[in-house]
Amino acid sequence: MKNVQLITLFLLLLSCGSKDEGTYPEVKSLTELVYSSVTVQPDSLYQAYAIVSGILDRNLVEEGDVVSEGDTLLQIINNAPKLNALNAKYSLDLAREKYKGKATVLNGIQDQINAATLRYRNDSLNYFRQKKLWEQNIGSKIEFDTKKLAYELSLNELHSLQNTYEQTENELQTAVKQSENNYRTALIGTRDFSVKSKINGKIYALYKEPGEIVNTMEPLASIGSVNNFVIDMLVDEVDIVRVTPGQDVLIFLDAYEGTLFEGHISKIYPKKDERNQTFKIEAVFKNPPNVLYPGLSGEANIIISKKDSALTIPKAYLIDGSMVKTEEGLIAVGTGLQNLEFIEITSGISEDTFIYKPQ
């Protein structure tokens, strides 16, 4: 019996203690933040590729070197494009010779046209002479028909040769133009055996050693700005609609433990990364650290909004997102800003309302 009384007393005390666990709303400064992971990268960072395949002859720079736009970074060896350019030159010379050379195909057709013209004139003269005689009832019908047929055949042959000449000339002109284009393309290939920098910047990485095979699908070098760095951030899709360019950012880098850096949002990429359901945004430092390296990581909080005087309660006291427990029972409240610990109460209760923590 005594044990039952002790258990009952313990439950009563526990119940009273739970009921009394509460707090009053508090007016305080409240800042709403959005969390993001951080990676530091040089501005204008890009990877350099080769236009042609081959073997890397030598790297003309080293990691950490500062380069100017147009500087040669790597040299590639490949004899195939030179041979292709030489073959293209031979094809171009042959096409020009066929079109404008001494033994051009057109000269042969022109000789045939000259001969056909003489035959046509002769057949025409004989035909019209015979026609005039036939109109005077002189000569035979067979003789007239024979000369007429010879005249028509020679005329058709002349027209056919003239059409052949025009068609052949067009084909030869087209062949010359195609050969010229092929030769120019082949020459471009012979000039692309060096990889040049597109910006004034620093060499952050070289991916190939001399003697290794180079192709057009693999990067050869990574180049970016010397002093200007950007902060790559990944924001969850549920938060991205609250992020806008210009918002302030609080940045914590693992390499500078305990140091707070400030920045602001400079760019928002509109496409979502389907793999991790995040959006990429960029920020810039207001006062960057003296030493930065590509790939430095950390965390950041984007300041969405801020109030100096907000009526707040701990988030743990909110029930179903819109109610709190008071001495009068459950009361619906309006909410505003929030962070990880506190949430703003805009209506429903005041500073004098005692609220209980839900069990």
Helix ranges (DSSP H) in the chain: 2-20, 80-100, 105-135, 141-191
What torsion do the CA atoms of 235, 236, 238, 244 make, to the nearest 10 degrees? 10
- Per-residue pLDDT in tens (0 to 9) along the chain, 359 residues: 444 444 433 443 444 444 558 888 888 878 888 889 999 999 999 999 988 888 898 999 999 999 999 999 998 887 677 777 788 888 888 888 877 876 677 888 888 888 889 988 888 888 888 888 877 888 788 888 888 888 889 889 889 988 988 898 888 888 888 888 888 877 766 666 889 999 999 999 999 999 999 988 999 999 999 989 999 999 999 889 989 999 999 999 999 988 999 999 999 999 999 998 999 999 999 999 989 999 999 999 999 888 888 888 888 888 888 888 888 888 888 888 777 678 888 888 888 888 888 87
Domain end (from 135, 170, 191): 191
d(CA 345, CA 336): 6
What confidence score (pLDDT) does residue 3 get? 46
d(CA 118, CA 111): 11
Domain end (from 222, 238, 262): 222
Q: Do 105 and 175 have their domain in common?
A: yes
Provide the CATH number for the domain around residue 69. 2.40.50.100
In a domain, 296, yes or no: yes
Residue 103: enclosing H or E segment and its boundaries?
none
What torsion do the CA atoms of 16, 18, 24, 26 make, to the nearest 10 degrees? 160
What confidence score (pLDDT) does residue 346 get? 83
Q: Do 91 and 134 have their domain in common?
A: yes
In a domain, 105, yes or no: yes
A 10 A CB-CB count for 235 gives 22
A 10 A CB-CB count for 160 gives 13
Q: Do 160 and 141 have their domain in common?
A: yes
Provide the CATH number for the domain around residue 288. 2.40.30.170
Q: Give this prediction's pTM.
A: 0.56
Phi, psi (deg, nearest 5) at residue 17 = -65, -40
In the chain, how many domains are there?
Answer: 3
Specify the residue for token string 């069990």.
359
Q: Do 144 and 161 have their domain in common?
A: yes
In a domain, 338, yes or no: no
Q: How far is CA 351 from CA 28, 33, 307, 318, in A?
A: 11, 24, 17, 15
Q: Do 108 and 166 have their domain in common?
A: yes
Specify the residue for token string 């890397």.
56
d(CA 183, CA 174): 14
Q: Do 152 and 247 have their domain in common?
A: no
Q: Do 244 and 143 have their domain in common?
A: no
In a domain, 151, yes or no: yes
Q: Which domain holds residue 65?
A: 46-78+193-222
The answer to whether 206 and 197 have CB atoms below 8 angstroms apart is no
What confidence score (pLDDT) does residue 39 get? 94
Q: Looking at the chain, how many residues does it have?
A: 359
In a domain, 312, yes or no: no
Q: Do 132 and 272 have their domain in common?
A: no
Using alpha carbons only, what angle is made at residue 64 by residues 62 and 68, rounded to the nearest 5 degrees?
85
What confidence score (pLDDT) does residue 12 get? 38
Helix ranges (DSSP H) in 101-253: 105-135, 141-191
CA diameter of the chain: 160
What confidence score (pLDDT) does residue 204 get? 93
